[in-house]
Amino acid sequence: MALAVQAAGALLSAAPVLVAAAATGFAADLALHRWRPDLAAVLGRLHAGTSVRQAVRDLLLLAGLIRIEEQDQESRYLALLCGLLLFHALHVLCQACALAVRRSRTLPVVTRNIDATALRLSSAPPALLTSRPEQRLLVFGLPSTAGMLTTAATGSAGWAAAGIAAAVLLAAVGTGMLLWRLLPSHRPVTGEQALQWMESWLAEYRPTVGMYFSGGRSSAYQANMWLDPLARLDGRPLIVLRERFMVHHIASTDVPVICLPKVADLMRLEHSTLKVLIHPSNSGRTSQVLRIPTIKHAFVNHGESDKLSSCNPYAKAYDEVWVAGPAARHRYALADVGVDDRDVREIGRPQLDGIRPAAGRPCGPYTTVLYAPTWEGWDADPGNTSVIAAGENIVRALLADPGVRLLYRPHPLTGTVDAGAAAADARIRQLIREARALRAAQHRGEPLALPEAAELALRTAELDRLTAPSCRRGADDVERMLVRTVPEPGRAAAVAAATAAWETAYWASIPAWEHRIVTGTRPDVYACFDVAHLLISDVSSVISDYLASGKPYAVANTGGLTEEDFRAAFPTVRAGAVLTPDARGIPDLLESVRHPGLDPFTDARAELGLHLLGPSSPPSTVRFGDAVRALCVRADEHRAGAAARTVPFIPAQREAGSALDNGTFQD
């Protein structure tokens, strides 16, 4: 629209219209890349990208100037036209250099928590030069646009000439910086040199156990929940990733991280000291690492529930399947998906060792309810998530109770498959925001918690400092470079302490009556467990994990089953209340939480917790370590057996008339 108005202004020689339309279009382009990159990408696919829009905008400005200024237009504006053409040519050259620089710096391995100074890597160029061409065009083209706008307003061509000259200078400097990076003396090591360095580091570090993970950004939580158990293992653990972007989505840890996107490079792990890899999730790239015969593989999953996905047939591809308790073992047996019971090992849930158990009924006037529904899943089963069919009813019923403080924590993948789930989630959030605003108005006369807010700000700044990337470069660039970081021993412990302090400050800063929508990485779901008096969820691993607290829970039944059939189909439900989509049982449920004598599931929860999570002694952390050591022994035995079975080939020499000619070997 702005370009159409600009064209009209140029044709009509209307300077105010021309200036206003061009300025509006340029500002809209900047805003588009800042707040709506998705729309900018769509325009690019329609061949109406930033380069095209900027070129059209510049040419329309120049055409308008020619029509507005009739005297000496041919000699005066020909130079400006040549200047604009030179600027756009330099932009193309700059982009070609950027691609060459990115290609030369794209190494086959990305690392974290490993001293890579031996590779003598230089700092990456600014992301504006290497990975943001459309923004670069707008930034470098700003002087020319501003100059021509000023000329249109004042009639002085000098402004346009100065602006175009400045734009050409910026483009030339940017191109020169990239060309300097392409000089042989400034190029980084080759890919083969980087891989040789990695192999040398592996030989020196001698890892024995690692975690393998592949997935998208939204699935990073599946790996992050295993970081602490992995870090507490004896020996020298390692994290193996496949996607470059995932390197910076792994939470703070002292464990070394290597990312090997190519299968051929991944196969080099066969010659390392790695004996065991644990797998929190299945992915298409998991089958690639399973080809390494010298490594034993254990599937640990990122959570257990009664859903079919918790006993996926893919699990039989692993050497062992590590589960929390007897329930999962029984689940695999019933599913009959090819997992041998001898390969199933119960290790508990090491992540839950720090969860505080129940401390009686709620203290104070407010009952904190955590509503943590799962997502819709891939199979469109209406029983997967309660968000669509029951979420709004559950939230309205909870908000109607003046003694409830609601924490809403939706699954990170909610709405990624079903647009109806995304819409329902948005409506639930709006209900909570309105209820929070209403309560804030009711408590307006209360003193502000300024000390608590100041403490939270202090703890947030400290935690952000500890968890910020250690290298100063753009995220787009980091995904393609071998990250030059020096390990900082004890950093993970410092982050854990800072996280605990932040969580304490976070909950202290929130009034006891305030409803909250909890998203993001902090506070995590386990921190919400500690402050909640009641959990409402769906059939998911959240229920199994929450049982470690011993506190009441309820499950939404949105699959159309009767309560009897629902409890029979999903054993994790048997120690909790069942909610129908209309949420009629919420008032009675809240009463049973506030008055433990009315709670009919106290004993059943303890029994179910033992069935799902296994015994509390020895702790899950100990059982996890025992499982790792036992599987390492199996790996050693396999390697020893393979070495014994390998007979060196000694070529036999042919002799005239020997028995070889008759098919027999001669002594």
- Chain mean pLDDT for the chain: 81
CB–CB of 346/324 below 8 Å? yes
Best-predicted range by mean pLDDT among 151-155, 436-440, 452-456? 436-440
Cα(83)–Cα(61) distance, integer angstroms: 14
Least confidently predicted of 95-104, 352-361, 377-386 = 352-361
Q: In the predicted model, what is the mean pLDDT of residues 370-398?
A: 87
In this structure, the answer to whether residues 280 and 410 fall within a common structural domain is no
Q: At residue 655, does pLDDT exceed 50?
A: no
In this structure, the answer to whether residues 376 and 261 fall within a common structural domain is no
In this structure, the answer to whether residues 80 and 97 fall within a common structural domain is yes
pTM of the model: 0.72
What would the pLDDT profile of 287-329 be if each residue is shown by its tens digit? 899 999 899 999 998 877 666 666 778 888 899 999 988 888 8
Q: At residue 401, does pLDDT exceed 70?
A: yes
Whether the ω angle into residue 523 lies within 30 degrees of 0, i.e. cis, is: yes
CB–CB of 160/150 below 8 Å? yes
Torsions phi, psi of 156, nearest 5?
-95, 115
In this structure, the answer to whether residues 344 and 216 fall within a common structural domain is yes
CA distances from 194 to 106, 204, 213, 482, 484 (A): 11, 15, 22, 9, 12
In this structure, the answer to whether residues 135 and 33 fall within a common structural domain is yes
Q: In the predicted model, what is the mean pLDDT of residues 18-44?
A: 70
In this structure, the answer to whether residues 626 and 606 fall within a common structural domain is no
Structure tokens at 440: 């804030």
- The reply to whether 529 falls in a domain is yes
Q: In the predicted model, what is the mean pLDDT of residues 463-473?
A: 60
Pairing between β-strand 110-112 and β-strand 257-259 as defined by DSSP bridges: antiparallel
In this structure, the answer to whether residues 219 and 172 fall within a common structural domain is no
Q: At residue 454, does pLDDT exceed 50?
A: yes
- The reply to whether 117 falls in a domain is no
In this structure, the answer to whether residues 211 and 250 fall within a common structural domain is yes
- The reply to whether 475 falls in a domain is no
In this structure, the answer to whether residues 602 and 645 fall within a common structural domain is no
Q: At residue 231, does pLDDT exceed 70?
A: yes
Between 102 and 578, the more confident residue is 578
Query: What is the DSSP code string of 89-142?
Result: HHHHHHHHHHHHHHHHH--S-EEESSB-GGG-PPPPPPHHHHT-HHHHHHHHHH
Q: In the predicted model, what is the mean pLDDT of residues 54-76?
A: 61
Instruction: Give the pLDDT score at 265.
Output: 93
In this structure, the answer to whether residues 325 and 223 fall within a common structural domain is yes
**What is the CB-side half-sphere exposure of residue 178 using CA atoms within 13 A?**
27
The domain that holds 303 is classified in CATH as: 3.40.50
- The reply to whether 197 falls in a domain is no
Structure tokens at 63: 């055409």
Q: At residue 87, does pLDDT exceed 60?
A: yes
Instruction: Give the pLDDT score at 639.
Output: 86
Q: At residue 108, does pLDDT exceed 80?
A: yes
Cα(519)–Cα(409) distance, integer angstroms: 6
Instruction: Give the pLDDT score at 662.
Output: 38
Instruction: Give the pLDDT score at 392.
Output: 94
Q: At residue 6, does pLDDT exceed 60?
A: no
Q: At residue 419, does pLDDT exceed 70?
A: yes
Instruction: Give the pLDDT score at 28.
Output: 75
- Spell 50-86 as b/e; 16+ CB within 10 A means b: bbebbbebbbbbbbbbbbbbeeeeeeebeebeebbeb
> If you search the block for the tokens 């209406």, which residue do you land on?
382
Instruction: Give the pLDDT score at 22.
Output: 65
Closest to 249 measured CA to CA, from 226, 269, 224, 276: 224
Instruction: Give the pLDDT score at 169.
Output: 92
Cα(227)–Cα(209) distance, integer angstroms: 13
Pairing between β-strand 276-279 and β-strand 296-299 as defined by DSSP bridges: parallel
- The reply to whether 317 falls in a domain is yes
Closest to 234 measured CA to CA, from 275, 271, 285, 288: 275
Instruction: Give the pLDDT score at 334.
Output: 81
**What is the CB-side half-sphere exposure of residue 623 using CA atoms within 13 A?**
22
Number of domains the chain is built from: 3
Between 52 and 88, the more confident residue is 88
The domain that holds 578 is classified in CATH as: 3.40.50.2000
- The reply to whether 360 falls in a domain is no
In this structure, the answer to whether residues 652 and 588 fall within a common structural domain is no
Instruction: Give the pLDDT score at 634.
Output: 92
What would the pLDDT profile of 8-20 be if each residue is shown by its tens digit? 665 556 666 656 7
- The reply to whether 377 falls in a domain is yes
Q: How many helices (H) and strands (E) does the chain have?
A: 25, 14
CB–CB of 148/62 below 8 Å? yes
What would the pLDDT profile of 608-618 be if each residue is shown by its tens digit? 888 888 888 88
Domain enclosing residue 560, as ranges: 367-446+511-613
What would the pLDDT profile of 326-376 be if each residue is shown by its tens digit? 888 888 888 788 888 898 999 988 888 777 776 555 667 899 999 999 888
Cα(164)–Cα(158) distance, integer angstroms: 10
Cα(400)–Cα(53) distance, integer angstroms: 52
- The reply to whether 91 falls in a domain is yes
Instruction: Identify any residues that bridge with 556 across adjacent strands, giving them in sequence order.
Output: 579
Q: What angle do CA 91, 94, 100 make, to 5 degrees?
A: 145
Structure tokens at 262: 């190519």
pLDDT bucket at 60, cuts 50 / 70 / 90 = low
Instruction: Identify any residues that bridge with 370 across adjacent strands, giving them in sequence order.
Output: 407, 535
Signed CA dihedral, 448, 451, 454, 458: sign only: negative
Cα(389)–Cα(460) distance, integer angstroms: 37
In this structure, the answer to whether residues 606 and 665 fall within a common structural domain is no
Whether the ω angle into residue 261 lies within 30 degrees of 0, i.e. cis, is: no
